[in-house]
Amino acid sequence: MKRRTFSQLLSIGTAAGAAGLWSEDVLADEKGDKALATIDATIYKAKTQYLEYEATIKVPEKSDRTLKLAVWMKNEWRLSEFLAPADVKGTKVLILSPTQMYVYLPAYKKVRRIASHVTDQGFMGMNFTQDELSITSYTKMYSATVAKDDGKLVTLALTAKKDTNAPYPKIELVCDKAKNLPVEIRYFNEEGTKLKTETRGAYSTEKECHAPGELKMVDHTKGGASTTLARKAWKVNLDIPDSKFSKRALEEGS
Protein backbone atom coordinates (compact mmCIF):
# COMPACT_ATOMS: atom_id res chain seq x y z
CA MET A 1 0.00 0.00 0.00
CA LYS A 2 1.37 3.37 -0.97
CA ARG A 3 2.15 5.52 2.04
CA ARG A 4 0.45 8.90 1.99
CA THR A 5 2.15 12.07 3.17
CA PHE A 6 0.83 14.03 6.13
CA SER A 7 -0.50 16.78 3.83
CA GLN A 8 -2.37 14.19 1.73
CA LEU A 9 -3.97 12.74 4.83
CA LEU A 10 -5.15 16.18 5.88
CA SER A 11 -6.57 16.97 2.44
CA ILE A 12 -8.53 13.71 2.39
CA GLY A 13 -9.94 14.39 5.85
CA THR A 14 -11.07 17.96 5.18
CA ALA A 15 -14.45 17.00 3.76
CA ALA A 16 -15.31 15.10 6.92
CA GLY A 17 -15.19 18.30 8.93
CA ALA A 18 -17.65 20.15 6.73
CA ALA A 19 -20.64 18.68 8.57
CA GLY A 20 -19.54 20.31 11.84
CA LEU A 21 -16.54 20.37 14.14
CA TRP A 22 -17.85 17.75 16.55
CA SER A 23 -20.80 16.13 14.77
CA GLU A 24 -21.33 12.47 15.65
CA ASP A 25 -20.49 11.14 12.18
CA VAL A 26 -16.93 12.50 12.20
CA LEU A 27 -15.78 11.88 15.78
CA ALA A 28 -13.95 8.69 14.80
CA ASP A 29 -11.81 10.03 11.96
CA GLU A 30 -8.78 7.89 11.17
CA LYS A 31 -7.25 10.62 9.01
CA GLY A 32 -7.63 13.17 11.78
CA ASP A 33 -6.14 10.83 14.37
CA LYS A 34 -3.13 10.14 12.13
CA ALA A 35 -2.63 13.87 11.58
CA LEU A 36 -2.83 14.51 15.32
CA ALA A 37 -0.27 11.77 15.98
CA THR A 38 2.13 13.43 13.53
CA ILE A 39 1.67 16.81 15.20
CA ASP A 40 2.07 15.24 18.64
CA ALA A 41 5.36 13.64 17.62
CA THR A 42 6.65 17.01 16.41
CA ILE A 43 5.59 18.99 19.49
CA TYR A 44 6.93 16.48 22.01
CA LYS A 45 10.03 15.26 20.21
CA ALA A 46 12.50 16.43 22.87
CA LYS A 47 13.26 13.90 25.61
CA THR A 48 14.02 16.66 28.09
CA GLN A 49 13.80 20.44 28.05
CA TYR A 50 14.77 23.37 30.22
CA LEU A 51 13.15 26.74 29.57
CA GLU A 52 13.03 30.17 31.16
CA TYR A 53 10.12 32.54 30.59
CA GLU A 54 9.09 36.06 31.38
CA ALA A 55 5.34 36.17 31.90
CA THR A 56 3.31 39.35 31.40
CA ILE A 57 -0.16 39.23 32.94
CA LYS A 58 -2.74 41.70 31.68
CA VAL A 59 -6.06 42.17 33.46
CA PRO A 60 -8.59 44.84 32.45
CA GLU A 61 -8.41 47.95 34.66
CA LYS A 62 -5.35 46.67 36.54
CA SER A 63 -1.62 47.28 36.20
CA ASP A 64 0.36 44.67 34.29
CA ARG A 65 2.24 42.11 36.39
CA THR A 66 5.47 40.41 35.38
CA LEU A 67 6.73 37.04 36.60
CA LYS A 68 9.85 35.06 35.79
CA LEU A 69 9.96 31.28 35.90
CA ALA A 70 12.04 28.26 34.95
CA VAL A 71 10.56 25.01 33.63
CA TRP A 72 12.07 21.52 33.48
CA MET A 73 10.35 18.84 31.37
CA LYS A 74 10.98 15.10 31.09
CA ASN A 75 8.64 12.41 29.84
CA GLU A 76 5.21 13.43 31.15
CA TRP A 77 6.68 15.35 34.08
CA ARG A 78 6.91 19.11 34.42
CA LEU A 79 8.53 21.16 37.19
CA SER A 80 8.09 24.95 37.30
CA GLU A 81 9.93 27.27 39.67
CA PHE A 82 9.20 30.98 40.03
CA LEU A 83 12.30 33.16 40.03
CA ALA A 84 10.71 36.61 40.46
CA PRO A 85 9.20 38.79 41.85
CA ALA A 86 10.03 38.37 45.52
CA ASP A 87 6.50 37.46 46.67
CA VAL A 88 6.46 34.28 44.53
CA LYS A 89 10.19 33.49 44.33
CA GLY A 90 10.92 29.89 45.26
CA THR A 91 7.37 28.66 44.67
CA LYS A 92 7.41 25.39 42.73
CA VAL A 93 4.75 23.36 40.97
CA LEU A 94 5.36 19.70 40.12
CA ILE A 95 3.08 17.99 37.58
CA LEU A 96 3.52 14.22 37.34
CA SER A 97 0.20 13.53 35.60
CA PRO A 98 -3.17 15.24 35.06
CA THR A 99 -4.27 13.87 38.44
CA GLN A 100 -1.02 14.13 40.41
CA MET A 101 0.22 17.68 41.01
CA TYR A 102 2.05 19.29 43.92
CA VAL A 103 3.00 22.81 44.99
CA TYR A 104 5.86 23.90 47.25
CA LEU A 105 5.24 27.13 49.15
CA PRO A 106 8.51 28.57 50.53
CA ALA A 107 6.71 30.63 53.19
CA TYR A 108 5.45 27.42 54.79
CA LYS A 109 8.33 25.17 53.67
CA LYS A 110 5.81 22.47 52.86
CA VAL A 111 4.69 20.48 49.83
CA ARG A 112 0.96 20.26 49.29
CA ARG A 113 -1.00 18.23 46.79
CA ILE A 114 -3.09 20.33 44.41
CA ALA A 115 -6.73 19.30 44.72
CA SER A 116 -8.31 18.16 41.46
CA HIS A 117 -11.12 20.71 41.73
CA VAL A 118 -8.68 23.65 41.53
CA THR A 119 -6.44 22.48 38.67
CA ASP A 120 -8.55 24.49 36.22
CA GLN A 121 -7.82 27.74 38.02
CA GLY A 122 -5.14 30.29 37.16
CA PHE A 123 -1.55 29.19 37.61
CA MET A 124 -0.02 31.75 40.04
CA GLY A 125 -2.26 34.48 38.69
CA MET A 126 -1.55 33.59 35.07
CA ASN A 127 -4.21 32.63 32.55
CA PHE A 128 -2.51 29.28 32.02
CA THR A 129 -3.81 26.57 34.35
CA GLN A 130 -2.25 23.38 35.68
CA ASP A 131 -4.73 21.47 33.52
CA GLU A 132 -3.44 23.00 30.29
CA LEU A 133 0.18 22.63 31.34
CA SER A 134 -0.35 18.96 32.16
CA ILE A 135 -1.00 18.03 28.52
CA THR A 136 1.98 16.08 27.20
CA SER A 137 0.16 14.09 24.51
CA TYR A 138 -2.98 15.05 22.64
CA THR A 139 -3.38 11.59 21.12
CA LYS A 140 -3.69 9.94 24.53
CA MET A 141 -6.57 12.21 25.53
CA TYR A 142 -8.33 13.17 22.30
CA SER A 143 -9.80 11.83 19.07
CA ALA A 144 -9.41 14.15 16.08
CA THR A 145 -11.18 15.03 12.87
CA VAL A 146 -10.01 17.44 10.17
CA ALA A 147 -12.45 20.35 10.26
CA LYS A 148 -10.74 22.76 7.86
CA ASP A 149 -7.77 22.81 5.51
CA ASP A 150 -6.83 25.89 3.50
CA GLY A 151 -3.56 24.49 2.19
CA LYS A 152 -1.33 26.27 4.70
CA LEU A 153 -3.23 25.80 7.95
CA VAL A 154 -5.25 22.82 9.10
CA THR A 155 -7.79 22.87 11.92
CA LEU A 156 -8.28 19.66 13.87
CA ALA A 157 -11.39 19.32 16.04
CA LEU A 158 -10.44 17.31 19.13
CA THR A 159 -12.95 15.45 21.27
CA ALA A 160 -11.96 14.06 24.66
CA LYS A 161 -11.73 10.31 24.98
CA LYS A 162 -13.51 8.63 27.87
CA ASP A 163 -11.69 8.14 31.17
CA THR A 164 -8.58 10.11 30.16
CA ASN A 165 -8.88 13.12 32.51
CA ALA A 166 -8.70 15.41 29.49
CA PRO A 167 -8.72 19.04 30.70
CA TYR A 168 -11.30 20.18 28.11
CA PRO A 169 -14.08 18.22 26.40
CA LYS A 170 -13.39 19.95 23.08
CA ILE A 171 -10.38 21.68 21.53
CA GLU A 172 -9.65 23.19 18.11
CA LEU A 173 -5.99 22.83 17.12
CA VAL A 174 -4.88 25.09 14.26
CA CYS A 175 -1.55 23.94 12.83
CA ASP A 176 0.99 25.04 10.26
CA LYS A 177 0.96 22.15 7.80
CA ALA A 178 4.52 22.71 6.58
CA LYS A 179 5.94 22.49 10.11
CA ASN A 180 3.33 20.28 11.82
CA LEU A 181 3.22 22.77 14.69
CA PRO A 182 0.24 24.48 16.38
CA VAL A 183 -0.19 28.23 15.92
CA GLU A 184 -3.52 28.54 17.73
CA ILE A 185 -5.38 26.40 20.25
CA ARG A 186 -9.02 27.06 21.16
CA TYR A 187 -10.51 25.56 24.29
CA PHE A 188 -14.27 24.84 24.58
CA ASN A 189 -16.72 23.56 27.17
CA GLU A 190 -19.22 20.76 26.56
CA GLU A 191 -21.75 23.17 25.04
CA GLY A 192 -19.22 24.42 22.50
CA THR A 193 -18.62 27.81 24.13
CA LYS A 194 -15.08 29.06 23.54
CA LEU A 195 -13.42 29.64 26.90
CA LYS A 196 -9.84 30.43 25.97
CA THR A 197 -7.58 31.00 22.96
CA GLU A 198 -3.86 30.23 23.03
CA THR A 199 -1.50 31.41 20.29
CA ARG A 200 2.03 30.17 19.70
CA GLY A 201 4.63 31.80 17.51
CA ALA A 202 8.30 32.65 16.90
CA TYR A 203 9.25 28.97 16.76
CA SER A 204 12.90 28.00 16.74
CA THR A 205 14.67 24.67 16.30
CA GLU A 206 17.38 23.05 18.40
CA LYS A 207 18.67 19.51 17.81
CA GLU A 208 15.68 18.84 15.51
CA CYS A 209 13.29 19.83 18.31
CA HIS A 210 10.95 22.80 18.17
CA ALA A 211 9.62 25.30 20.71
CA PRO A 212 7.65 28.55 20.44
CA GLY A 213 9.40 31.73 21.45
CA GLU A 214 6.10 33.24 22.57
CA LEU A 215 2.88 31.82 23.95
CA LYS A 216 -0.20 33.89 24.72
CA MET A 217 -3.35 32.74 26.51
CA VAL A 218 -6.51 34.87 26.38
CA ASP A 219 -9.32 34.04 28.80
CA HIS A 220 -12.65 34.98 27.24
CA THR A 221 -14.48 34.35 30.52
CA LYS A 222 -12.48 37.09 32.25
CA GLY A 223 -12.99 40.03 29.92
CA GLY A 224 -10.07 39.12 27.69
CA ALA A 225 -7.47 38.92 30.46
CA SER A 226 -4.26 37.48 29.03
CA THR A 227 -0.86 36.10 29.86
CA THR A 228 2.08 36.19 27.44
CA LEU A 229 5.08 33.93 27.99
CA ALA A 230 8.25 35.18 26.30
CA ARG A 231 10.97 32.54 26.19
CA LYS A 232 14.34 33.77 27.48
CA ALA A 233 16.32 30.51 27.56
CA TRP A 234 15.98 27.01 26.14
CA LYS A 235 18.06 23.84 26.39
CA VAL A 236 17.17 20.52 24.75
CA ASN A 237 17.97 16.91 25.69
CA LEU A 238 20.13 17.78 28.64
CA ASP A 239 20.65 15.28 31.46
CA ILE A 240 17.90 15.79 34.05
CA PRO A 241 17.72 13.07 36.72
CA ASP A 242 14.36 11.53 37.55
CA SER A 243 14.88 12.60 41.15
CA LYS A 244 14.40 16.22 40.06
CA PHE A 245 10.69 15.43 39.68
CA SER A 246 9.89 14.29 43.21
CA LYS A 247 8.23 15.60 46.35
CA ARG A 248 11.51 15.22 48.20
CA ALA A 249 13.30 17.39 45.64
CA LEU A 250 10.65 20.09 46.14
CA GLU A 251 11.20 20.10 49.88
CA GLU A 252 14.98 20.05 49.62
CA GLY A 253 15.08 22.78 47.02
CA SER A 254 17.16 20.69 44.63
Q: Please write the tens of the pLDDT for every residue from 28-49.
A: 588 899 999 999 999 999 999 9
pLDDT at 157: 97
With DSSP H G I counted as helix, E B as strand and the rest as coil, what are the percentages for the chain, rounded to 5? 20, 45, 35
Provide the pLDDT confidence category of residue 19 given band limits of 50, 70 and 90.
very low
How many CA atoms does the CB half-sphere of 53 hold within 13 Å? 25
- For the chain, the average pLDDT equals 87
Fold type of domain 14-44+135-233: outer membrane lipoprotein receptor (LolB), chain A (2.50.20)
Provide the pLDDT confidence category of residue 253 given band limits of 50, 70 and 90.
low
Neighbours of 7 (CB within 10 A): 15
Neighbours of 170 (CB within 10 A): 22
Give the range with max mean pLDDT: 107-111, 159-163, 172-176.
Answer: 172-176
pLDDT at 46: 95
- Contact between 202 and 232 (Cβ < 8 Å): no
pTM for this model (two decimals): 0.85
Q: Nearest 5°: phi and psi at 247?
A: -60, -40
Pairwise CA distance, residues 55 & 153, whole Å: 27
